């Protein structure tokens, strides 16, 4: 991990979370603010229904709140959709775009992800842009080609270390308990760093690169020690304060 880049641990609650889970969020926020804020930046991305409640929670402290998706338009006749401006108005600071579950379940393309990233920027928020190979691509030896294609198509021109974060999540590792080998993580993150540096210059060198896919307290330290891993995008382990705080503690 590059010591000049402060890590980010972002929790993706996915389609989980009710108002009855506010105490769990409060425990995360209190533990983070009192003990761990100096180690890494941290964020929880709940469902849309909880963004305002968490962002305005009296115990939130230094724990940021983000969203899991947004529409490309700032407003209009898009029933059921949410704009970046609406998310910002709730108090969120970032939006995940291009998560593999959005790509798979909703057919989102690289071009659409890029448009969403720009919409996030236009709302004054940070885009957490997700990339990652499928199991078939991993087995076929085309991991780097798949990641390169997604980076090329999903990261818009104008991306900076301030408005964008890249999250590498091998699709086959999400929610399965499986993780790629440390050497594999190092290879992909090194490749992404080189690609971004070549295409974005100094901004690509300074951009945070997160690893995601079955990150837990037990494997977080090893993953966070990999060069060019600047934090984690955490799924299931972000639903419990003990697990989420344990991952932050693992940051060296």
Q: Where are the domains of the chain?
A: 8-15+39-72+81-249
Residue-level pLDDT at 2: 43
Average pLDDT value over all residues in the chain: 96
Q: Residue 102: pLDDT above 90?
A: yes
Q: Residue 200: pLDDT above 70?
A: yes
**CA-to-CA separations, 97 to 40, 130, 135, 239, in angstroms, rounded:** 22, 6, 21, 20
Residue-level pLDDT at 174: 83
Share of the chain above pLDDT 90, in %: 94
| Low-confidence winner among 33-42, 48-57, 174-183, 222-231 (lowest mean pLDDT) | 174-183
| CA pair distance 113, 173, nearest whole angstrom | 21
Catalytic residues: 99, 169
Tell me phi and psi for residue 180, to 5 degrees: -65, 160
Q: At what angle do helices 217-224 and 241-249 cross, to 10 degrees?
A: 30
Burial of 237 from C-beta contacts in 10 A (0-12 / 13-18 / 19+): buried
Check if CATH label 3.20.20.70 holds for domain 8-15+39-72+81-249. Answer: yes
Is residue 169 helix, strand or coil?
coil
Q: Which residues contact 197 (CB under 8 A, 6 or more apart)?
A: 204, 205
pTM score, whole prediction = 0.97
Residue-level pLDDT at 1: 40
């Amino acid at each position: 991990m590059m010591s000049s880049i402060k890590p980010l641990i972002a929790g993706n609650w996915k389609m989980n979370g009710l108002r009855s889970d506010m105490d769990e969020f409060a425990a995360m926020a209190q533990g983070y603010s009192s003990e761990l804020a100096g180690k890494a930046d941290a964020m929880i991305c709940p469902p849309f229904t909880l963004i305002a409640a968490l962002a305005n929670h009296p115990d939130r402290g230094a724990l940021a709140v983000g969203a899991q998706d947004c529409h490309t338009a700032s407003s209009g006749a898009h029933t059921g959709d949410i704009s970046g401006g609406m998310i910002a108005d709730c108090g969120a600071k970032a939006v995940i775009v291009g998560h593999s579950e959005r790509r798979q379940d909703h057919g989102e393309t690289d071009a659409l992800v890029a448009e969403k990233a720009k919409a996030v920027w236009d709302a004054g928020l940070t885009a957490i842009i997700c990339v990652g190979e499928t199991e078939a691509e991993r087995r076929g030896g085309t991991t780097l080609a798949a990641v390169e294609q997604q980076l090329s198509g999903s990261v818009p021109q104008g991306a900076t270390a301030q408005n964008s974060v890249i999250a590498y999540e091998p699709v086959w590792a999400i929610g399965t308990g499986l993780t790629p080998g440390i050497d594999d993580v190092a290879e992909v993150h090194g490749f992404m760093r080189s690609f971004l540096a070549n295409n974005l210059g100094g901004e690509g060198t300074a951009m945070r690169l997160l690893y995601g896919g079955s990150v837990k307290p037990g494997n977080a330290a090893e993953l966070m020690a990999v060069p060019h891993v600047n934090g984690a995008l955490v799924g299931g382990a972000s639903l419990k304060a003990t697990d989420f705080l344990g991952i932050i503690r693992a940051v060296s």
